[in-house]
Chain A
Amino acid sequence: AQRVTQPEKLLSVFKGAPVELKCNYSYSGSPELFWYVQYSRQRLQLLLRHISRESIKGFTADLNKGETSFHLKKPFAQEEDSAMYYCALESGGSYIPTFGRGTSLIVHP
């Protein structure tokens, strides 16, 4: 069975500091991986997906199949990055994402 683990429930950093939100997955096939974000009083929305190899709002995420990880990184955190971040895994052909429990990122001024 596929599983997504986000080991940190809360990550607290100061503005300008680097950020890394961890995501590990278990799946034997080729996964599709996503990061979703929920800002305060807003709905859950897609931040980025690994197949696009894009950088959104300064965030990047690299799929490491050897370590089965898809960590989300940003070199310099901003206060507006404070939000709940969810890593999600879609197994090949299912088109149904499995979500991790989420990490709350707080960026202090």
Chain B
Amino acid sequence: ETGVTQSPTHLIKTRGQQVTLRCSSQSGHNTVSWYQQALGQGPQFIFQYYREEENGRGNFPPRFSGLQFPNYSSELNVNALELDDSALYLCASSLNLGSGSPLHFGNGTRLTVT
């Protein structure tokens, strides 16, 4: 089975620009969650998509937006980038909603905003 893949692996952007990060979920998984992980911190929940609908959102401003496609892959878009957006962005898919479905993480996208 194919695991969660994220692209790109690294990205450098300038403050004020926009960025799109992509995630392919593990085969058969219909739920995708996005996390932001700053250096030395645990993953912070951004939002979750279940069957193309947003299922929950963390404490992130509206300039963080997302999308899930019919094949359950997903995008994370960030507008008007700020220096504090520099972090590792993790995508995780799960078989379904529910605590019986653990998260399967990708390797992440390292975003640097200068």
Contacts and interface: CB of A to CB of B under 8 A. Distances in A.
Interface of B is mostly: loop
Contacts of A43: 3-4, 105-108
Nearest to A92: B99
Interface of A: 4, 6, 9, 32, 34, 36, 43-46, 49, 51, 86, 90, 94-102
B102 A46 contact: yes
B67 interface: no
A96 B45 contact: yes
Nearest to A87: B42
Interface residues of B, number: 28
B99 A45 contact: no
B79 interface: no
A102 B39 CA distance: 11
Interface of B: 3-4, 31, 33, 35, 40-45, 48, 55-56, 90, 92, 97-108
Contacts of B4: 43
A95 B97 contact: yes
Cβ-closest 5 pairs across A and B = A99-B42, A32-B99, A46-B102, A44-B105, A101-B42
B23 to A, nearest CB: 13
Contacts of A102: 41-42
Nearest to A36: B103
Nearest to B96: A95
A81 B4 CA distance: 24
B105 A101 contact: no
Contact of A98 (B45, B98, B102, B106): B45
Contacts of A6: 42
A95 B99 contact: yes
